[in-house]
């Protein structure tokens, strides 16, 4: 596949960068990287599963473009998004003599993206990094916007940095090897983007039963929605909060279930559904919105009901980091495709949800 066929979305954040989207473009990753860096050393950081599937191809592509391309893989999964992995990555970077003039390449889903991105933000006080997202979630969401970080035993994503990539190479063909659970996880974020910003995307998701047929267009529509929000509010001081739709309750659900028995996407789906239902009841959301959302979630294998008691979820949500003082910021839908931040005193949270 020629890189000339790739669609390009420019993101005006950090130093400014392009996202190249095309089926097969992963094999041109090295060539594209060579155009944005003078360095000829690219440290590829990935997880064990992605290394097996795509590590060889990506390494080959960088080597063909004249890079030295040492590769480091850590065990796949969220459990690896820790300081222990970060330390192992630093040791690898030291061994590979990676300097500030070189480049880090994050290959994989949101976990390699977040942890390798944080390594790039901190190694020798920061070096260029590039994202090659291979999960739907990473392609439509986590690979752009510059949020990087690791989890702590005390909570997810507690340590991190804003560090924008220099380049994103997004190959929808890689989604062909992703299991249905991870596709659903990504779909929760796709549906979130449609809910907060685009009725057109919402309707197009309704019209197709699966995303395979128009995957490039779907990924692009999502990237444009996220790009526009990030460009206007890189550091999440206002508008970027809209991207948290469904996440305040979603995180509470994950916490209550101890991050087992429900996927992140499943929790976000239930969080969105509960929020839409409650705000509709409070007269803040157009009637029928919650039903339309539930139906679309079901269409993509996501359930509006996580089986937990709403009172318990609301109580768990009170500790969310999106709290500011005695208020909590809720992201609500005015209608499908339109969203706003609603500030609510924490002690009004239970009545808002009718508990
Ligand atoms: N930085 C951000 O803005 C942002 C946004 C949303 C989520 N996140 C973070 O992203 C993480 C979740 O991302 P994720 O769901 O991609 O998790 P992940 O990176 O763990 O990937 C999920 C699983 O899919 C496997 N996989 C990846 N690509 C594959 C492929 N093409 N074929 C087959 N298997 C493949 C991985 O090995 C892993 O087992 C969370 O830690 C979350 O906090 C970050």
Decide if pLDDT at 323 tops 70.
no
* Cα–Cα nearest to 15, from 125, 121, 167, 123: 167
Decide if pLDDT at 343 tops 90.
yes
Q: Which of 26, 85, 114 to mutate to test the pocket of ligand 1 (most atoms within 8 A of CB)?
A: 114
181 alpha carbon – ligand 1 mean position (Å): 11
How does pLDDT run across 238-260, given as a tens digit for each residue? Answer: 999 999 999 999 999 999 998 88
CA angle 30, 35, 39 (to 5 degrees): 75
Ligand 1 close to Cβ of residue 147 (< 6 A): yes
143 alpha carbon – ligand 1 mean position (Å): 10
Which ligand 1 atom minimizes the distance to the CA of 133? 28
Ligand 1 close to Cβ of residue 49 (< 6 A): yes
Ligand 1 close to Cβ of residue 46 (< 6 A): no
How does pLDDT run across 168-222, given as a tens digit for each residue? Answer: 999 999 999 999 999 999 999 999 999 999 999 999 999 987 776 788 899 999 9
108 alpha carbon – ligand 1 mean position (Å): 7
| pLDDT given for residue 340 in this prediction | 97
pLDDT, average across residues 65-71: 98
How does pLDDT run across 224-236, given as a tens digit for each residue? Answer: 999 999 999 999 9
Ligand 1 close to Cβ of residue 81 (< 6 A): yes
- Interatomic CA distance for residues 107 and 47, integer angstroms: 8
Decide if pLDDT at 273 tops 90.
yes
Ligand 1 close to Cβ of residue 177 (< 6 A): yes
Question: Residue 31: exposed, middle, or buried by beta-carbon count in 10 A (0-12, 13-18, 19+)?
Answer: middle
| pLDDT given for residue 69 in this prediction | 98
Decide if pLDDT at 22 tops 90.
yes
Decide if pLDDT at 20 tops 60.
yes
111 alpha carbon – ligand 1 mean position (Å): 5
SS3 279: helix
- The token duo for 222 is 């999502």
- Look at phi and psi of residue 243 and say left if phi exceeds 0, alpha if psi is from -120 to 50, else beta: alpha
The alpha-helical segments, DSSP class H, found in the chain are 29-34, 48-50, 56-64, 83-95, 110-122, 136-137, 180-197, 199-207, 215-232, 247-256, 264-281, 289-299, 310-317, 349-352
pLDDT, average across residues 30-56: 97
Within 10 Å of residue 353's Cβ, how many Cβ atoms? 20
In whole numbers, what is the pLDDT of the chain averaged over residues? 94
Ligand 1 close to Cβ of residue 131 (< 6 A): no
Please check whether residue 103 is in contact with residue 39, taking contact to mean a CB–CB distance below 8 angstroms.
Answer: yes
- Interatomic CA distance for residues 24 and 349, integer angstroms: 48
The radius of gyration of the chain from alpha carbons, rounded to an integer in Å, stands at 20
Decide if pLDDT at 27 tops 80.
yes
Decide if pLDDT at 324 tops 80.
no
Ligand 1 close to Cβ of residue 238 (< 6 A): no
DSSP code, position 135:
S
* Cα–Cα nearest to 330, from 254, 253, 244: 244
| pLDDT given for residue 60 in this prediction | 98
Ligand 1 close to Cβ of residue 173 (< 6 A): no
133 alpha carbon – ligand 1 mean position (Å): 8
Decide if pLDDT at 1 tops 80.
no
308 alpha carbon – ligand 1 mean position (Å): 25
With cut-offs at 50, 70 and 90, classify the pLDDT of residue 321: low
28 backbone dihedrals φ, ψ, rounded to 5°: -105, 10
Which residues lie across from 128 on neighbouring strands? 103
Question: Residue 141: exposed, middle, or buried by beta-carbon count in 10 A (0-12, 13-18, 19+)?
Answer: buried
Please report, rounded to a whole number, the percentage of residues in the chain having pLDDT higher than 90. 90
């Amino acid at each position: 596949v020629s890189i000339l066929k790739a669609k390009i979305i420019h993101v005006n954040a950090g130093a400014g960068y392009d996202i190249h989207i095309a089926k097969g473009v992963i094999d041109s990753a090295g060539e594209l990287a060579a155009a944005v860096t003078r360095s000829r050393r690219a440290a590829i950081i990935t997880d064990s599963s992605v290394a097996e599937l795509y590590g060889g191809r990506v390494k080959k592509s960088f080597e063909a473009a004249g890079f030295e391309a040492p590769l480091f893989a850590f065990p796949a999964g969220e459990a690896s998004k820790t300081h222990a992995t970060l330390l192992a990555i630093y040791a690898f970077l030291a061994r590979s003599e990676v300097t500030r003039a070189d480049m880090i390449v994050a290959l994989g889903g949101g976990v390699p993206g977040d942890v390798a991105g944080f390594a790039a933000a901190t190694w020798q006080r920061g070096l260029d990094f590039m994202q090659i997202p291979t999960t739907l979630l990473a392609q439509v969401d986590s690979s752009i916007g510059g949020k990087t970080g690791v989890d702590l035993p005390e909570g997810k994503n507690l340590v991190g940095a804003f560090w924008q990539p220099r380049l994103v190479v997004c190959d929808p063909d890689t989604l062909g090897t992703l299991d249905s659970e991870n596709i659903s996880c990504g779909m929760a974020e796709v549906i979130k983007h449609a809910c907060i910003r685009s009725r057109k995307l919402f309707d197009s998701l309704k019209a197709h039963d699966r995303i395979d047929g128009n995957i490039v267009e779907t990924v692009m529509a999502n990237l444009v929605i996220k790009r526009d929000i990030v460009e206007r509010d890189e550091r999440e001081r206002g508008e970027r909060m809209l991207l948290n739709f469904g996440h305040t309750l979603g995180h509470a659900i994950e916490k209550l279930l101890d991050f087992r028995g429900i996927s992140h996407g499943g929790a976000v789906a239930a969080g969105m559904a509960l929020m839409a239902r409650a705000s509709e009841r409070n007269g803040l959301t157009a009637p029928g919105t919650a039903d339309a959302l539930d139906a679309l979630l079901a269409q993509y294998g996501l359930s509006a009901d996580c089986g937990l008691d709403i009172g318990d979820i609301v109580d768990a949500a009170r500790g969310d980091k999106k709290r500011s003082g005695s208020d909590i910021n809720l992201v609500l839908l005015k209608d499908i495709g339109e969203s706003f931040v609603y500030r609510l005193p924490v002690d009004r949270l239970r009545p808002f949800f009718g508990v």
